[in-house]
Amino acid sequence: MENSHGPAPGRSRIRLTLAYEGTDFFGWQFQPGQRTVQGELEAVLQKILGVRVVVQASGRTDSGVHAKAQVAHMDVPQDRADLPWHLILNSHLPRDLRVLDSRPASPGFHAQFLTRSKTYAYTFSQAAITLPHRRRYVWRTGPLNLAAMAQASALFVGRHDFAAFRNTGTDIENTVREVFSCGLFAGCEPDEAVLRICADGFLKQMVRNIAGCLAAVGWGKVQPELVRSLISEGDRKAAPATAPARGLCMEQVCYSPGDPDDLHHRKRREHPAP
């Protein structure tokens, strides 16, 4: 079993970087009778090690949400800490779940409690017909006013109370979060636009609610200034509907400046949406 603050005696902590296509998963967290990312990983580890090993992620993703670089940790026997765990796990895992990297971590590393920032991307498709290979990863919205959406997205930047962008189902009382960046970028296809948002943390379905609000701005149903009033009033019922899960992807989790998993240190090139 895992100690929430450090590995138990005789165990070593391993950091994992994971990618998954979330369509056929019932989210990250283990749930009896449901196919989940955590459940798949822990079942394979049980098979390999013969004991239960808890895999702790940086945060839960909902049913249908994807990940390019989810970070997690697990504690394994010390004599197995140097094994190539990404190769071992991938040889047993289903094709819609991959371990991109595994490495020994310090005993004090914790995938959830030490995060400094997370980045999510939400993809809108304005195409009249969605390409078959993109249907699981985009929300087909039809034509959008991207200039108005970009104007609205800038209003999310800063430290605010995001109560109006939190769905029910959580007992978290503090709804203040700091958004470091929020903007629109070009997508994989000409008719796609990507909302990319980085913050010190997110509330339940916060990014999908922001995406839903921006889509309403893009359709001309509401004005960009609605964002200000929603933030100041904190009324979820006054906000537009939640965007569907399929367009959302966890892109990045950072723990310290210069973190090797930081997308900026990979010199990722991003271009603003036209």
Is 62 a known active-site residue? yes
Residue type, 205: Q
* Amino acid, single-letter form, for residue 46: Q
CA dihedral 198, 234, 58, 31 (to 10 degrees): -140
Q: 3-state DSSP call for residue 134? A: helix
Residue in 158, 159, 156, 162 with CA at minimum distance from that of residue 174: 162
Q: CB–CB of 202/118 below 8 Å?
A: yes
- First-to-last C-alpha distance (Å) of the chain: 50
For residue 29, give every residue at least 6 positions away whose Cβ sits within 8 Å of its Cβ, in sequence order, or none. 36, 38, 60
Half-sphere exposure of 92 (CA within 13 A, CB side): 14
Q: Phi-psi bin for 55: left (phi > 0), alpha (psi -120 to 50), beta? A: beta
One of 24, 62, 75, 235 is an active-site residue; which one?
62
| Residues labelled catalytic | 62
